[in-house]
C-alpha cells in the first residue's frame, strides 16, 4: 500500500480521496438488499389507510361496523378512539392528529386505518367504511389562504414540536404558521437612490420527491414498547416523536432502518410511523403499511411558492438592495414548513454584498397535502429568481453576467447574512462560478435561440450538529462502524467505511457499516441537510481515532514502550523495533482469541447551542452553468450542457461526489422544465406517474460536467463539507438564466412548452406593437 | 373470485401455484415465492422497478397477471444473479457507481440483459431507447448509460 503523510503522525494510510467501489453494490445489483417492504415479521398484518375525499370538512360520523365484521379484518382504528393519548404530532408544530379527530384538512387526510390478514382484504374493508362529511369552505391556494376572509385551517395556539429548532415560534397569524423576517439597512432608501431596478412576481410549483420506494413502515407494538422497521431518514427523531406520542420511555421505542429506496427529504422526520404504530397497538399484532404512489404524493411534497422581489444596482453594476416578500404553501399541516421558510428567507438575499436587504417570508397553511423537505429546499425556491434579477441588472448595466458576479459576490470570510449573524462565507464563489461557466463554453459563439446562464447560491446546511458513532474492532482485526446515518443511495456506508479505514490504516473491505438500529446504534440527529459526511463522518473519524489509540495503548503496554514511539500503518502497529497485527494485539490484550475494542466519537456544538441562528454548520455551495436551446415554434426547451460545482472541501470518494451531483442535476431539470403537482379545487389532479412526469433517460443533458473543488475548508473530516443538494438548487436557476439569455425571461416554473411559447408570442407582440 | 392453478418456471425451477385469477405476478413473486428483488413503485408501467423477464421479454410484473405466466419462463434478478453472465453486468454498474439507492437497479439490469440477448444493445442510441421504460431517481442516468454502453455488443460467450 502506498502511503502519504496524514494529518495525524500516528497513522499513515490513503483510504480517503479514492473512488472505492460502493460497499452495497453487490447486494443492490443482485436484489438481495432489504428495504422496509421486503421485511416480513411473523404474524404480520397489512394496513391500509382511509383518506379524506374532501379538502376541508367536519366529520359528522364514521361507521366502521361493516368493515370490522369482514372476515380477515383484525382491527379498524379511527381518531376518536385514541382518547388515552394526546394524538397530535409534528416535529415543528404539533398540529397533526394520528387520524382525523373531527375534521379533515386535505384530500388524502387519514381518517381511519384497517389491519387485515392481506392487503386486498384491508383495501376491501376501506370501501365498507362510511364517512359522513359536512363540507367547510376551502382555501386551496396561497391567495385563498391569506385572504382576509380565508377559512381558518387550524385554530387555537400553535404547539411547538420537539425539533423545530427555530427558537421561540411566533404566534399564528390567520393561516400563517411561521414567519421569518430579516432586515438590514434601508431598502426604501436604496430603491429611491438606485439607478437600476428590476422587480417581478414569480411562482414556483409544488413538486413530488418521488423516492421510488414509497413510505413504508412495519410496526410491532408490544407490552410497553414498540419496534418499527421504517423507511425513515431520521430514526432518532422518529423514535423521540413516537415515544412522546405513546407515552413511552425513549429506550422502549426501537427504530430499525434498512436500505432506503431514495429519500431526497421525503422520508425526513416522522411520516407514516404514528399511524402504523397506533394500528399495531389496536391489533396487538405487527402491521405493515406501504403507501401507494398516490398516497406518498399526499404524504409530503415540496412547497409551492409565490414571491415578489426587487433588486437594485447602480449603473456601474454595483448591487445595492434586495427586497423579498414570499409565501410558501405548506399545505394542511406544517411538516417541515417553518424550517423551509427560514431557509428560503436565508437564501433570498443571495451570496452578494448588499447595503440593504429586506426579507419577509410566510409559511401558509392551505387545504392541500402537507409540504416538507425536498433536496435543497428554500435555496431552490429562491435562487432562480434572485439570479434572474442579477442577470437583468447586468443586461441593463451592459455587463457580462460573470462580471457582475465577480464585482459583487461575497468573498471568503465575509458575513453571509446581511445582518452579520451566523457563519461567514467558507468558499471561493468567484473561482467556482468561473469554472462552471468555462465548462459550458461560456465565451463560445452561439446560435439564435441558444442561451447560457450561470447561477450562484448558498444553502444553510448541516442542521443541528449532534452526531455520535462508535467503531468496534473484532478479534480478527476487522472493524465495524456503528453510525446512525441512513443509507438512501448517497453512499454513506461506503464513505463512513473509508473514513474508519483511513484512521485505522486498514482496507475499506475490512470495515463493515450497518444501518441504524436505535437500540444499539449511537445517536445521530438526522440524515439530511448534506450533513452526514461532515458531522456523522467526523464522529466516525473521532471514534476510529479513539479505537486506534486503544490499539496503540495495548501495544505500548504489551511491549513496555512509550505510546509516542508507536504508529499504525497497513493494519499493524509499528514502533520501538517491533510490529504486530491488530488481531495479534487483540489476542495479546485478552489472552484469548476473542474480545473487542470500541472507540467512541462525538460531535456537538463547539460553541453556543448550535441553533439555526448561530449556524449553519457550513454553507453549501449551489453553483451551476447551463446551455439551453429553445424551439420558438413549440416553446420546447432542451438543456444541452450542464456544469455543476461540488465545492466539498475534501472529496472522501470523488466518484460518489460526481454521481450525487449528476442525480441532483436531473432532479433539477425536472423541477425546471416539467414537474408540477396540479391542484384544482383542493384536489390533486395528477396523482400518478403517467400524469406527473419525472425525468427519463432521454431528458439527460447531452453534456454533464461535474467539477469537484477541494479547498479543505469544511468543518468535517479532512476538511470535508457536504454536497448533493447545491446542484439541485442551482440547476433550475442556471436553466432559467440560460433561457433568459436565449431571449425568453420567465417568471414561473416549470418552463413548460406552452408557457414558454406564450411568453415568446408576448415578447414578439411587445416588439412589434 | 376463482382460483387458478398455474405452473411457471421461475428462475429455471417449475413452481406450481394456486392463485386468485386477478393476482399480479409481482405479488406472487414477492409474497408467495419470497423473491423480493422486483419492487413495487409506480404500478402504471412507467418506472420499470418491477421488471422481470417472461420468456426473455421484459414485463412490468406490477401489471402482469400471474395466470398469464402459466407455462412460461420467468427470470427474476435472483435467477439472473445466479448465472455466470451476471458478473459482467454487476461489474459494469459497480465500477461506475451506476447505482445509488438500488431500488431500480434489478429492473435496469434485467432490461439490459433482454436488450443484449435480442441483439438490441449495440450503441448509445440503443441504450437510450431501450431504457426508456426504466426510471432512476438517484443517478441522473449518466452513469447507467456509461455502464450500459460498456455492455453493448455481442453477449458474453
Measured CA angle at A431 (ends A430, A437), to 5 deg: 85
Give the count of Cβ contacts less than 8 A between chain A and B: 159
Total residue length of chain A: 769
Q: Report the chain B residue with the minimal C-alpha distance to residue A264.
A: B138
Q: Which CATH number among 2.60.120.1140, 3.30.365.10, 3.40.50.620, 3.40.50.2300 corresponds to the domain A375-462+616-768? A: 3.30.365.10
Least CB-CB distance to B100: which of A34, A489, A700? A489
Reported as a pLDDT band with limits 50, 70 and 90, residue A165 is confident
A18 touches chain B (CB under 8 A): no
Helices B105-117 and B86-95: crossing angle in degrees, nearest 10, is 130
DSSP SS3 for B28 = helix
Give residues 365 to 404 of A whose Cβ lies within 8 Å of B: none
Per the prediction, chain A carries an average pLDDT of 96
Burial class of residue A711 (count of CB atoms within 10 Å of its CB; 0-12, 13-18, 19+): middle
A interface mutation test: which of B74, B100, B141, B145 has the most A CBs within 10 A? B100
Q: Kindly tell me if the per-residue pLDDT of A627 is higher than 60.
A: yes
The reply to whether residue A292 touches residue B43, judged by beta carbons under 8 angstroms, is yes
What are the tens digits of pLDDT across the range A427-445?
Answer: 999 999 999 999 999 999 9
Is pLDDT of A482 > 70? yes
Interface pTM, i.e. ipTM: 0.98
Q: How far apart are the first and last CA of chain A?
A: 73
Q: At what angle do helices A582-590 and A537-559 cross, to 10 degrees?
A: 60
A725 phi and psi angles, rounded to 5 deg: -105, -35
Position A6 scores a pLDDT of 44
Contact call for residues A352 and A321 (beta carbons, < 8 A):
no
Please tell me the predicted confidence (pLDDT) of residue B1.
58
A37-138+210-297 against A375-462+616-768: fold identical: no
Closest CA to A239 of A217, A263, A270: A270
Domain extent listing, chain A: 11-33+466-603, 37-138+210-297, 375-462+616-768
Q: In this predicted model, what pLDDT tens digit does every residue of A664-694 receive, in sequence order? A: 999 999 999 999 999 998 999 999 999 999 9
pLDDT tens digits, residue range A325-367? 999 999 999 999 999 999 999 999 999 999 999 999 999 999 9
Residues in chain A within 8 Å Cβ distance of B140: 659, 662-667, 695, 700, 704
Q: Is A11-33+466-603 a CATH 2.60.120.10 domain?
A: no
Burial of A242 (0-12, 13-18, 19+ CB in 10 A): buried
Contacts of B136 in chain A (CB under 8 A): 697
Contacting A residues, span 641-660, partner chain B, CB-CB under 8 Å: 655-656, 659
- Give the separation between CA A610 and CA A759, rounded to whole angstroms: 46
Task: Tell me if B137 and A212 make a contact (CB, 8 A cut-off).
Answer: yes
| pLDDT tens track for A205-261 | 999 999 999 999 999 999 999 999 999 999 999 999 999 999 999 999 999 999 999
* B53 vs A contacts (CB less than 8 Å): none
CB contacts, 8 Å: A210 with chain B: 137
Q: What is the CATH number of domain A37-138+210-297?
A: 3.90.1170.50
Residue numbers in A near B135 (CB within 8 A): 212, 689, 694, 696
The partner residue sitting opposite B90, judged by closest CB among A29, A33, A293, is: A29
Closest chain A residue by Cα to residue B131 = A697
Q: Is A766 helix (H, G, I), strand (E, B) or coil?
A: helix
All residues of chain B having their beta carbon less than 8 Å from the beta carbon of residue A651 are none
The contacts found for A250-253 with CB under 8 angstroms, 24 or more apart, are A251/A519, A252/A224, A252/A225, A252/A226, A253/A225, A253/A226, A253/A228, A253/A518
- Contact predicate A690/A749, CB 8 Å: no
Cβ–Cβ below 8 Å for A261 and B103: yes
Query: Is A448 a catalytic site residue?
Result: no
Residue of A29, A488, A700 with shortest CB distance to B105: A29
Contact present, B142 and A727 (Cβ < 8 Å)? no
| Cα–Cα distance measured from residue A453 to residue A735, given in angstroms and rounded to the nearest whole number | 7
DSSP assignment string, A109-126: -EEEEEEESSHHHHHHHH
Q: Which of A119, A201, A725, A765 is catalytic?
A: A725
Over residues A182-199, the mean pLDDT reads: 97
pLDDT surpassing 80 at residue A610: no
Confidence of residue A5 (pLDDT cuts 50, 70, 90): very low
From A169's Cα to the closest Cα of chain B, the distance in A is 35
Domains of chain B (ranges plus CATH)? Answer: 3-76 (3.10.20.30), 81-151 (1.10.150.120)
Helix (H, G, I), strand (E, B) or coil at A45: strand
Q: Do A35 and B86 touch (CB under 8 A)?
A: no
Distance from CA of B90 to the nearest CA of A (A): 6
Question: What is the tens place of the pLDDT at every residue in A124-148?
Answer: 999 999 999 999 999 999 999 999 9
% residues pLDDT > 90 (chain A): 94
- Flag whether pLDDT at A3 surpasses 50: no
| Among A173, A232, A165, A171, residue whose Cα is nearest residue A615 | A165
Residue A2 in this model has a pLDDT that exceeds 70 = no
Expressed in angstroms, the distance from the first to the final Cα of chain B is 47
With beta carbons under 8 A apart, name residues in chain B contacting A260: 101
Residues for chain B: how many in total?
Answer: 157
Q: Which of A28, A292, A532, A706 to mutate to test the interface with B (most CBs of B within 10 A)?
A: A28
Nearest chain B Cα distance for residue A707, angstroms: 15
pLDDT at residue A584 is higher than 70: yes
Q: Which residues of A touch B39 (CB under 8 A)?
A: 35, 37, 212-213, 261
According to DSSP, the β-strands at A45-51 and A287-290 are: parallel
**B20 Cα to chain A: minimum distance (Å):** 11
Mean pLDDT by 10 residues, chain B (157 residues): 92 97 97 98 97 98 98 98 98 98 98 97 97 98 98 70
Q: What Cα–Cα distance (Å) separates residue A443 from each residue in A37, A95, A571, A628?
A: 51, 53, 51, 15
Identify all chain B residues contacting A489, using CB atoms and an 8 Å cutoff.
Answer: 100-102, 138
Tens digit of pLDDT for each residue in B103-115? 999 999 999 999 9
CB contact under 8 A, B140 and A489: no
Answer yes or no: is pLDDT of A7 > 70. Answer: no
Q: Which of A19, A25, A688 sits opposite B99 (nearest CB)?
A: A25
Instruction: Say if A247 is an interface residue toward chain B (CB within 8 Å).
Output: no
Give the DSSP H/E element, type plus range, for residue B74.
Answer: strand B73-75
Cβ distance B42 to A656 less than 8 Å, yes or no, reads no
| Contact status, residue A373 vs residue A336, Cβ threshold 8 Å | yes
Amino acid at each position: 500500500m502506498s502511503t502519504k503523510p496524514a494529518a495525524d503522525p500516528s497513522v499513515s494510510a490513503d483510504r480517503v480521496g479514492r473512488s472505492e467501489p460502493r460497499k452495497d453494490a453487490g447486494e443492490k445489483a443482485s436484489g438481495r438488499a432489504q428495504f422496509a417492504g421486503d421485511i416480513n415479521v411473523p404474524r404480520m398484518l397489512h394496513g391500509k389507510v382511509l383518506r379524506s375525499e374532501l379538502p376541508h370538512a367536519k366529520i359528522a360520523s364514521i361507521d366502521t361496523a361493516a368493515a370490522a365484521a369482514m372476515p380477515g379484518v383484525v382491527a379498524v382504528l379511527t381518531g376518536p378512539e385514541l382518547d388515552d393519548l394526546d394524538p397530535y404530532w409534528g416535529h415543528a408544530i404539533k398540529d397533526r392528529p394520528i387520524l382525523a379527530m373531527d375534521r379533515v384538512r386535505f384530500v388524502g387526510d387519514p381518517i381511519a386505518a384497517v389491519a387485515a390478514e392481506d392487503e386486498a382484504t384491508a383495501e376491501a374493508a376501506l370501501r365498507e367504511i362510511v364517512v359522513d362529511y359536512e363540507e367547510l369552505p376551502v382555501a386551496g391556494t396561497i391567495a385563498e389562504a391569506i385572504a382576509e376572509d380565508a377559512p381558518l385551517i387550524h385554530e387555537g395556539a400553535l404547539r411547538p414540536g420537539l425539533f423545530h429548532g427555530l427558537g421561540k415560534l411566533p404566534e399564528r397569524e390567520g393561516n400563517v404558521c411561521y414567519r421569518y423576517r430579516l432586515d438590514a439597512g434601508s431598502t426604501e432608501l436604496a430603491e429611491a437612490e438606485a439607478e437600476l431596478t428590476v422587480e417581478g412576481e414569480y411562482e414556483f410549483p409544488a413538486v413530488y420527491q418521488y423516492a421510488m420506494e414509497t413510505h413504508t413502515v412495519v410496526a410491532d407494538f408490544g407490552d410497553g414498547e414498540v419496534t418499527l422497521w421504517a423507511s425513515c431518514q431520521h430514526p432518532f427523531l422518529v423514535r423521540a416523536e413516537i415515544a412522546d406520542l405513546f407515552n413511552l420511555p425513549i429506550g422502549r421505542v426501537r427504530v430499525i432502518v434498512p436500505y432506503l429506496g431514495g429519500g431526497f427529504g421525503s422520508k425526513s422526520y416522522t411520516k407514516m410511523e404514528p399511524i402504523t404504530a397506533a394500528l399495531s397497538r389496536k391489533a396487538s399484532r405487527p402491521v405493515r403499511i406501504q403507501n401507494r404512489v398516490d398516497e406518498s404524493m399526499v404524504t409530503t411534497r415540496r412547497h409551492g411558492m409565490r414571491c415578489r422581489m426587487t433588486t437594485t444596482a447602480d449603473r456601474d453594476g454595483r448591487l445595492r438592495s434586495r427586497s423579498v416578500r414570499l409565501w410558501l404553501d405548506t399545505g394542511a399541516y406544517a411538516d417541515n414548513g417553518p424550517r423551509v421558510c427560514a431557509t428560503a428567507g436565508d437564501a433570498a438575499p443571495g451570496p452578494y454584498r448588499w447595503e440593504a436587504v429586506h426579507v419577509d417570508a410566510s409559511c401558509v397553511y392551505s387545504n392541500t397535502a402537507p409540504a416538507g423537505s425536498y433536496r435543497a429546499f428554500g435555496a431552490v425556491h429562491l435562487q432562480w429568481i434572485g439570479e434572474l434579477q442579477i442577470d437583468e441588472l447586468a443586461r441593463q448595466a451592459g455587463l457580462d453576467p460573470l462580471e457582475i458576479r465577480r464585482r459583487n459576490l461575497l468573498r471568503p470570510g465575509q458575513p453571509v447574512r446581511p445582518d452579520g449573524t451566523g457563519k461567514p462565507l467558507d468558499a471561493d464563489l468567484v473561482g467556482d462560478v468561473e469554472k462552471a461557466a468555462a465548462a459550458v463554453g461560456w465565451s463560445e459563439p452561439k446560435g439564435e435561440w441558444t442561451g447560457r446562464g450561470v447561477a450562484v447560491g448558498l444553502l444553510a446546511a448541516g442542521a443541528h450538529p449532534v452526531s455520535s458513532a462508535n467503531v468496534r474492532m473484532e478479534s480478527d482485526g476487522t472493524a465495524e462502524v456503528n453510525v446512525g446515518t441512513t443509507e438512501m443511495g448517497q453512499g454513506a456506508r461506503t464513505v463512513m467505511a473509508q473514513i474508519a479505514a483511513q484512521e485505522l490504516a486498514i482496507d475499506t473491505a475490512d470495515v463493515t457499516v450497518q444501518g441504524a438500529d436505535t437500540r444499539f446504534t449511537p445517536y445521530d440527529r438526522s440524515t439530511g441537510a448534506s450533513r452526514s459526511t461532515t458531522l456523522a463522518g467526523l464522529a466516525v473519524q473521532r471514534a476510529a481515532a479513539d479505537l486506534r489509540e486503544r490499539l496503540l495503548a495495548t501495544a505500548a503496554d504489551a511491549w513496555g514502550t512509550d505510546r509516542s514511539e508507536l504508529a499504525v500503518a497497513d493494519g499493524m502497529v509499528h514502533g520501538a523495533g517491533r510490529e504486530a497485527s491488530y488481531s495479534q494485539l487483540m489476542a495479546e490484550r485478552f489472552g484469548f482469541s476473542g474480545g473487542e475494542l470500541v472507540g467512541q466519537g462525538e460531535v456537538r456544538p463547539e460553541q453556543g447551542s448550535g441553533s439555526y441562528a448561530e449556524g449553519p454548520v457550513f454553507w453549501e455551495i449551489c453553483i451551476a452553468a447551463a446551455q439551453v436551446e429553445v424551439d420558438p415554434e413549440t416553446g420546447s426547451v432542451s438543456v444541452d450542457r450542464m456544469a455543476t460545482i461540488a465545492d466539498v472541501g475534501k472529496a472522501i470518494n470523488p466518484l460518489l461526489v460526481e454521481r450525487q451531483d449528476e442525480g441532483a442535476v436531473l432532479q433539477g431539470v425536472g423541477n425546471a422544465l416539467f414537474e408540477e403537482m396540479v391542484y384544482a379545487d383542493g384536489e390533486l389532479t395528477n396523482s400518478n406517474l403517467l400524469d406527473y412526469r419525472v425525468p427519463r433517460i432521454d431528458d439527460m443533458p447531452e453534456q454533464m460536467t461535474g467539477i469537484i473543488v477541494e479547498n479543505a475548508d469544511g468543518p468535517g473530516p479532512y476538511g470535508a463539507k457536504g454536497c448533493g443538494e447545491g446542484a439541485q438548487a442551482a440547476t433550475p436557476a442556471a436553466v432559467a438564466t440560460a433561457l433568459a439569455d436565449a431571449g425568453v425571461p420567465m417568471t414561473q416554473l416549470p418552463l413548460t412548452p406552452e408557457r414558454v411559447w406564450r411568453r415568446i408570442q408576448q415578447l414578439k407582440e411587445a416588439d412589434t406593437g | 373470485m376463482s382460483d387458478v392453478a398455474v405452473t411457471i418456471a421461475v428462475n429455471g425451477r417449475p413452481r406450481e401455484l394456486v392463485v386468485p385469477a386477478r393476482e399480479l405476478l409481482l405479488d406472487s413473486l414477492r409474497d408467495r415465492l419470497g423473491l423480493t428483488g422486483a419492487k413495487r413503485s409506480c404500478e402504471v408501467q412507467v418506472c420499470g422497478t418491477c421488471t422481470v423477464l417472461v420468456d426473455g421479454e421484459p414485463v412490468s410484473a406490477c401489471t402482469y397477471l400471474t395466470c398469464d405466466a402459466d407455462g412460461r419462463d420467468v427470470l427474476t434478478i435472483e435467477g439472473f444473479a445466479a448465472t455466470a453472465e451476471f458478473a459482467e453486468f454487476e461489474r459494469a454498474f459497480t465500477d461506475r457507481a451506476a447505482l445509488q439507492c438500488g431500488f431500480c437497479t434489478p429492473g435496469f439490469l434485467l432490461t439490459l440483459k433482454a436488450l443484449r440477448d435480442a441483439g438490441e444493445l449495440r450503441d448509445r442510441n440503443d441504450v437510450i431507447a431501450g431504457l426508456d421504460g426504466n426510471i432512476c431517481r438517484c443517478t441522473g442516468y449518466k452513469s447507467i448509460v456509461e455502464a450500459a454502453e460498456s455492455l453493448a455488443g455481442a453477449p458474453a460467450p
